[in-house]
Amino acid sequence: MNGADVQVWSFVTAGLMFIVGLYAIVFMENLIKKVIGVMLIGDAVNLVLITSGFKPGGIVPIIGEELYNNASGLFQGFADQAAYSLPFALVLTNIVIGASTLAVLLGLTIKLYQRYNSLSVTTIFKEDES
Amino acid sequence: MMGVLEIIIEFVLMFAIIAGSIMALVQKDLMKMVVIIGFQGLGLALLYQRLLAADVAITQAILGSALIPGLIAITVFKTRRSEE
Amino acid sequence: MNSELIPLMVVFPLIAAILLNLMHGKQRAVRIFGTVAMIVVLAVPLLTAYGSHLFGAHPVDDALPASKIVIPEINLAIEYSFAFLQKALVFLLAVIATFVVVSHTSNEKRVSGVYLSMIMLSIAAVSAVVMVNDIFNMFVFIEIATISQAAIVIAHGGADAYKAAFKYLVFGGIAGGSILFGIALLLGTYGVLNISDLHQAIGGSVGDPVVLTAVALLVIGWLFESGIFPFHSIKSNLYSAAKPDVAALLQTETKLMLVAIGIILLRLFGGYSNMTAVMLGLSIATMVFGAVMAMMQTDFRRLLAYSAVSQAGLVGVGISLGTAAGIAAGIFHAINDAIAMSLLFITVYFIYERAKTSDLTKLGGLLSKAPRLAFLQIIGILAVSGIPPFNAYQSEFRIIESTVAAGYPELGVLVILGTILTFVALMKGFYLTFLREETTVMALEKVRISNALPKVTLAALVILCLACIGIGLFPMPFYDRIADVALNVMVGW
């Protein structure tokens, strides 16, 4: 077992989360659980991005005060060791987007519940085919 | 180099995340589901931390373990607590 | 004329959205600021010179055009490019959105700041998707567009709107996830996000299984955003649950996103013939299926919704042919059809506002009451169905021409078939609303539909009509420039 294994299994975890989320969206009866399925898919994609930025045996790509004071030149050693931080920036954006989508979806869930007095998909989307 | 003991943490976290998402989805009591979702979000944040994304881990810890479960909990309070 | 104004097309609507949201409740402020903001949104694309703008990190050498920089360490900037195509699309969006905003501020007694704010947000998002040359920024604004479109529909209220918006957001979550998954795979493989850089890095060959997965995931996102086959019912539900004027805006935005994301896909993987084949097949299915579904509807809004989806399929056929002529014809048809379809949606908006229904079994006998409206609607129907003096004829003819030139004459036949089906469906709607005898329901409810259209609606309809006829009579100056754009899409393949 080493760091590279962590990367592979992390991708597998993300894939499983994606499948669980998709399953929840397609097969779950309860609206709130469908919403959680959407959240899980977003989390799975975030995990893929984070894992692709991960470097086995690397360091966190943040230049602390200590490192800054002791550094000489262009932080060459730091750049070699640090994880790739561009995906992390993308993930931060996606987390915020995911949270706002989730909030809108939950609001809609409440509205639909008030209308139909049920959270069941078959009751709410019954006459909605075609 | 990371020792075997340290590396096990990641695998435990990954297992906990998957198990947490499946357990949350099979719960009949939606408040229990909210609690499990909170722990799952926290586990995800810890995994991000282990994968060297410290800044993302902080955001995920706040959102995934407090804000999102809070929102879902509000929804559950305003609707019904158990699945029909 | 100044290319420094490029970011304003995205930044200004975003700021306006925030301000309008804060102003919610103060009627006068929302009214005045909403109008002023729309004037600015209309003016900025006209005042901006062509060029490109970099957000964030800047290239070392300012003299070097941004798309030439292939060193990933340097080009972290988000690039927006603005040329004739972007100008046309952004301005078209601004015109349609202006009508929605002005009809809200002039017709409603209580204006809603949040509603206008969401319209502004969707303008910003779609303008950004049209202009952006950065694949991650594209994803961000696609997501913002999805949320804001759902929010505009929710504003209409009613169970139908909630259900349509819920479905739209759930599937939007899946599509957004798959787009970002694809972007992550591309980033992992090539290490760049700028589309011009990715184009060079991919370098004319798609063979790596990881990249193939990315292609599939991005195509799923494209299918959702443009309402092509597996997702057609979600889009048509959304259009028919929205107020018809909002539906006009939504279908314009859909067509712009279809063109913008389609061009990005073609620039990245255009030579990969399996991708274009899948896109082409699904587009044809959408075109025919949408037209057939439109014929079966008994509600005018649903009928138009399915026609809009069917027309999006036709645009998709042009784009995914992958030849320069096909892409040009597809883009041209997207613009023409957005105009003509908006015209139809706005005529139905007027009927819906007065009669409070768009059920075709209830409507009837409007010809004697509102001949002017009937005249404008028949122009819209003829334009959408591709009858000669109008604009969509020019583009549909070119799409058929390019299918034959690309070696698929059968496709040309299917396109003609789809057009005829659309014409029949729309004429059915026209007949049932205007030509047949007044139904007892209408007589009982004493619906007051008069020939005196509100000024805003009339102005919008006349402008769109003139655009239909103008582009129909003089397509060449317009089409030539689009053809220039299309020539550059497939460079390197």
Examine chains A and B and say if they touch (3+ CB pairs below 8 A). yes
Which of C9-13, C78-82, C361-365 is modeled with the greatest confidence?
A: C9-13
pLDDT grade, residue C7 (50/70/90)?
confident
What's the domain count of chain B? 1
Residue-level pLDDT at C28: 86
| Stretch C144-160: mean pLDDT | 88
Residue in A with minimal Cα distance to B61: A95
pLDDT grade, residue C169 (50/70/90)?
very high
Residue-level pLDDT at B74: 92
Residue B58 lies in a domain: yes
Residue C428 lies in a domain: yes
pLDDT-above-70 percentage for chain C = 92
| Stretch C468-482: mean pLDDT | 85
| Stretch C32-41: mean pLDDT | 89
| Stretch C262-279: mean pLDDT | 86
Is there a contact between A29 and B83 if contact means CB atoms under 8 Å apart?
A: yes
Residue B14 lies in a domain: no
Residue in A with minimal Cα distance to B18: A17
Residue-level pLDDT at C447: 57
Residue B15 lies in a domain: no
Examine chains C and B and say if they touch (3+ CB pairs below 8 A). no
Residue C461 lies in a domain: yes
Residues 80-109 of A with CB under 8 A from B: 82-83, 88, 91-92, 95, 99, 102-103, 106, 109
Q: Provide the domain limits for residue B34.
A: 21-77
- CB-based contacts of C269-277 (< 8 A; 24+ apart in sequence): C269/C202, C269/C206, C269/C215, C270/C322, C270/C489, C270/C490, C270/C493, C271/C204, C271/C205, C271/C206, C271/C490, C271/C493, C272/C206, C272/C215, C273/C322, C275/C206, C275/C215, C275/C219, C276/C320, C276/C321, C276/C322
Whether residue A9 lies within 8 A of chain B, CB to CB, comes out as yes
A37 CB neighbours in chain C (<8 A) are: 170
Residue C299 lies in a domain: yes
Whether residue C416 lies within 8 A of chain A, CB to CB, comes out as no
pLDDT-above-90 percentage for chain C = 21
Is there a contact between C169 and A101 if contact means CB atoms under 8 Å apart?
A: yes
Residue-level pLDDT at B84: 67
pLDDT grade, residue C68 (50/70/90)?
very low
pLDDT grade, residue A121 (50/70/90)?
confident
Residue-level pLDDT at C69: 42
pLDDT per residue as tens digits for the range C206-231: 778 888 889 999 999 999 988 888 88
pLDDT per residue as tens digits for the range C69-89: 444 445 667 888 888 888 889
What's the domain count of chain C? 1
Residue B11 lies in a domain: no
For residue C344, is pLDDT > 80?
A: yes
**CB-count exposure of residue B9 (10 Å: 0-12, 13-18, 19+):** middle
pLDDT-above-70 percentage for chain A = 83
Instruction: Work out the minimum CA distance from A107 to partner chain B, whole angstroms.
Output: 7
| Stretch C158-187: mean pLDDT | 90
Output C381 or B7, whichever has higher pLDDT.
Answer: C381
pLDDT per residue as tens digits for the range B31-80: 889 999 999 999 999 988 888 888 889 999 999 888 999 999 999 988 88
Residue-level pLDDT at C444: 58
Residue B84 lies in a domain: no
pLDDT grade, residue A44 (50/70/90)?
very high
Residue-level pLDDT at A38: 92
Instruction: Work out the minimum CA distance from A45 to partner chain C, whole angstroms.
Output: 6
Is there a contact between B25 and A113 if contact means CB atoms under 8 Å apart?
A: no
Domains of chain A as residue ranges with CATH: 3-128 (1.10.287.3510)
Residue B70 lies in a domain: yes
Average per-residue pLDDT for chain C: 84
Is there a contact between C136 and A22 if contact means CB atoms under 8 Å apart?
A: no
**C370 vs C378: CA distance, rounded Å:** 13
- CB-based contacts of C17-23 (< 8 A; 24+ apart in sequence): C17/C117, C17/C118, C17/C120, C17/C121, C17/C124, C18/C117, C20/C113, C20/C114, C20/C116, C20/C117, C20/C120, C21/C113, C21/C114, C21/C117, C22/C113, C23/C113
Which residues are within 8 A (CB) of C374 and not within 5 positions of it... i.e. 6 or more apart? C366, C367, C430, C434
pLDDT grade, residue C94 (50/70/90)?
very high
| Stretch C354-382: mean pLDDT | 79
pLDDT grade, residue A37 (50/70/90)?
very high
Residue-level pLDDT at A129: 52
Nearest to A54 among B33, B51, B68 (CB): B51
For residue A130, is pLDDT > 50?
A: no
Could you give the 3-state DSSP secondary structure of residue C124?
Answer: helix
Average per-residue pLDDT for chain A: 82
**C236 vs A86: CA distance, rounded Å:** 38
Nearest to A34 among C151, C170, C177 (CB): C170
pLDDT grade, residue C53 (50/70/90)?
confident
Tokens (6 digits) for C255: 């067509």
| Stretch A100-127: mean pLDDT | 86
Specify the range with the lowest mean pLDDT, choosing from A120-129, C67-76, C84-93, C319-328: C67-76
Residue C491 lies in a domain: yes
